[in-house]
Amino acid sequence: MNCAVLAVLVVVCCCCALSVDARPARLRSRPLDNPETWNNVMVMAKHAQAQDRDHETRLIPVISSDKLKDGDVCCANVKILDYYLRHILDGKVREGREHNYPRIHLVNPDLNRVARDLEPHCNAKQIDLEYLQTFKQNLDRAGEMYKNNTKAQNKAIGETDILFHYLYESCSATSTS
Ligand SMILES: *[C@@H]1O[C@H](CO)[C@@H](O)[C@H](O)[C@H]1NC(C)=O
């Protein structure tokens, strides 16, 4: 009798342990895994790149693939995403720049969703803010170099594919701290 009870308990406990394990602990923003979003980002970015004659400058600081996977850089990328949304993409949507940036009206809400999903899990650390600072400096310098901020913003839009790739790689379940 006691053995039977014990056996049942063991089974119940195993089930509990399994169901806890199987529970999706993943915290992942859906548009990152949506092929349509990927495609729209690529189309928009390629159009911006085609309008860009400066192939030397790069605005988004480079992150190695090792660091993307293990380096806790999700929130740094979310900070840049937030800047894109507030200062670059929303404005282009409001100005109706779809002829320059096709699909921006689809990309913008998807990226807003990514920011909304991930931002609450980010405690901005000094290193994240420095990364954003570097990006902003690069953007300002490009604007000065071209004597045209619109062109610098166009370059930033041309790098949306890089940003999306970085978010995809760095913002997995466990690295949203
Ligand atoms: C800045 O660049 C944009 C896009 O290339 C262009 O339409 C605009 O005329 C430029 N502005 C100035 C002041 O040169």
Nearest to 171 by CA among 71, 44, 43, 63: 71
The alpha carbon of 151 and the centre of ligand 1 are apart by a number of angstroms equal to 7
The alpha carbon of 154 and the centre of ligand 1 are apart by a number of angstroms equal to 10
Mean pLDDT of 3-30: 55
Q: Whose CA is nearest to atom 13 of ligand 1?
A: 148
The mean of the pLDDT values for the chain is 87
What DSSP string runs through 30-84? Answer: GGGG-HHHHHHHHHHHHHHHHT----S---SPP--HHHHHHS--HHHHHHHHHHH
- 65: number of CA atoms within 13 Å, CB side? 0
Does residue 149's CB lie within 6 angstroms of at least one atom of ligand 1?
no
> How far from chain centre, in Å, is Cα 137?
20
**Sequence ranges of the domains in the chain:** 68-176
**Residue 121 binned pLDDT confidence (cut-offs 50, 70, 90):** confident
The alpha carbon of 53 and the centre of ligand 1 are apart by a number of angstroms equal to 13
Does residue 151's CB lie within 6 angstroms of at least one atom of ligand 1?
yes
CATH number, span 68-176: 1.20.1250.10
Tell me if residue 173 falls in helix, strand or coil: coil
